[in-house]
Structure 1
């Protein structure tokens, strides 16, 4: 399994989520975040919480089967990009296993069509 973490501009998130959902990626986590880096968004301001200059970002996280990862990355890239600099970044990591909280059952044994929210 693979974990994808994508940091996306807030104005592109809805389009990314809709495109992922249309292609069968139904389970994902979305979090509001602040980021700091080489690119400063127009209107970036000092964060009241962290005392750094920040740009608003949305962190999207999803886990999928190995063979689905490139498709998800392509969807995020295509729907998350803008003509402006600083569109974000995508991280891809291996997931050794996942377990249901309800019963401790491993999800490793399920195939690509398995829905982790069941």
Structure 2
């Protein structure tokens, strides 16, 4: 079982979620986050933006479904030819999961 975290532009998150659901990945957690990547923020005129607004989408999937989910995220989160700040995907192993209402183990 894996946790796939995608940090994307806010204007792309709805599209990523829609396409992921259509590909069979309906369950998602979405959070507003702020940060910067390798570009170290953005300077517009004399104003320097150190923290850029993004949205983090968290999906859980089985190991064998990872590549399908990553392809959906890469295809839908990218802007045009790809720009700085389009985001990043992180994949981490998950030891176990339980549904609170039923106590059921797994996804």
Question: TM-score of the superposition, structure 2-length normalised?
Answer: 0.84
The within-5 A match list for 1:31-110 is: 31-39=31-39, 40-41=41-42, 53-82=50-79, 83-107=82-106
Question: Deviation of residue 64 (structure 1)?
Answer: 0.8
Structure 2 stretches lacking a partner, 5+ long: none
Root-mean-square deviation (CA, aligned residues, Å) is: 1.9
Q: Kindly report structure 1 stretches of 4+ aligned residues shifted beyond 6 Å.
A: none
For the structure 1 residues 16 and 41, does the alpha-carbon distance in structure 2 shift closer, same or farther, using more than 3 Å as the test?
farther
Question: TM-score of the superposition, structure 1-length normalised?
Answer: 0.77
Of Structure 1 and Structure 2, the greater strand share is in 2
Question: Deviation of residue 105 (structure 1)?
Answer: 2.8
Structure 1 stretches lacking a partner, 5+ long: 47-52, 108-115
For the structure 1 residues 15 and 103, does the alpha-carbon distance in structure 2 shift closer, same or farther, using more than 3 Å as the test?
closer
